[in-house]
Amino acid sequence: MALEANFCRVQLDQPGPGGVQQLLCVRRTRLGKTGQQICVGDRVRVEGIDWPEARAAIAALEPRRSLLERPAVANCSRVVVVVALAQPQLDPLQLTRFLLTAERTGVDVDVVLTKADLLSEPEQAQWRDRLKAWGYQPHLLSAHSGAGVEALREHLAQPGIAVLCGPSGVGKSSLLNALVPELALRVSAVSGRLQRGRHTTRHVELFPLAPGALLADSPGFNRPDLPADPAALAVLFPEIRERLGDGGCRFKNCLHQGDPGCVVGSSWDRHPLYLHCLAAAQQQAAREPRLRSSADAAGLKQRGHREEPVLDQRLRTQSRRRRRQSDHEEP
């Protein structure tokens, strides 16, 4: 349900003795040694349960159905990209990068536009129509006035995990307070000078919204990552998927940059944003071989999703188990 420092809060499938429903758990060292990273939303197996203290240890990790890498949430069934229409002003490029991150999970993607009360009705309609052209049905709402909150609550009440993600200061915590009033999460105003959000959420946590429905709040960040393979970028745009249809582009390995004869073309709103993201992904891909060679030169190895230094064999200490075995060996 949450990761806090070195501890995990685990919700039990069935209450334990005394009605215990959650356990505060540590992670077994072998999980880290095998590169298994535990995320909020993971289904886990616990052992060594201390029922009076409601403590235990996570021993195993179940296979995941999906993974949102940033924020790290496993087994999500819906990603809700939350951006503000004003304060801070909506940036189409930033919104596009968040949508690309959400589309990479392969689950349903929703767009929520907060602070709608700060824009006029024609301005709201303009953004609604623009997002529909992108392939999304946006939810416009105001946590301050409550407009649109009930409709979103009904939409998210389906069983599963819905993840709220977006930049800082767009009102994710305020939205959660409106959806689940008993939470009373801390909120902060946008910086007056820079018009940037202040970080109020420090970790990812799941909150119950309806029976079987959970909402994940997450810390805001302003620059989502792009796919490592530039060729994988196009299918993350609903507009391109619609234009490709069943037949695909007539050009093999086409990157859909508006070349004559390309079935995608350039007559769609986000084409300049696509080109910008494509150029950034290509630059990123060109840097990665150099970074990998530098890591090899620095003596790093890949373990799971992270790099670790390669320890010189001469510096390795013999494990206690091996020492005990050596002591009992016959001469």
Across 246-268, b (16+ Cβ under 10 Å) vs e yields eeebeeeebbbeeeeebebeeeb
pLDDT tens per residue across span 189-221:
444 443 444 444 557 888 888 888 998 877 766
CA distance 185 to 150: 19
CA distance 6 to 10: 13
This prediction's pTM: 0.77
CA distance 30 to 42: 17
Nearest Cα residue to 82 out of 26, 36, 142: 142
CA distance 9 to 262: 51
- Asked whether this chain's domains 2-61 and 67-217 adopt the same fold, the reply is no
CA distance 153 to 309: 47
- Counting residues of the chain whose pLDDT is more than 70, the rounded percentage is 81
In the CATH scheme, what is the code of domain 67-217?
Answer: 3.40.50.300
The residue written with tokens 């998927």 in the block is 241
Across 45-74, b (16+ Cβ under 10 Å) vs e yields ebeebeeeebebbbeebeeebbbbeebbbb
Q: How many CB atoms lie within 10 A of CB 194?
A: 9
pLDDT of the residue at 221: 60
SS (H, E, C) 169-198: CCCHHHHHHHHCHHHCCCCCCCCCCCCCCC
The residue written with tokens 């320890």 in the block is 311
pLDDT tens per residue across span 10-55:
999 988 898 899 999 999 888 888 888 898 999 999 999 999 999 9
- pLDDT band at residue 305 using 50, 70 and 90 as cut-offs: low
The residue written with tokens 């069983």 in the block is 159
Nearest Cα residue to 167 out of 200, 123, 134: 200
The residue written with tokens 């189409």 in the block is 92
pLDDT of the residue at 26: 92
The residue written with tokens 């390795």 in the block is 316
CA distance 323 to 36: 28
Identity of residue 4: E
The residue written with tokens 């030169």 in the block is 297
| Domain spans, the chain | 2-61, 67-217, 230-309
CATH of 2-61, one of 2.40.50, 2.30.29, 1.10.3470, 3.40.1130: 2.40.50
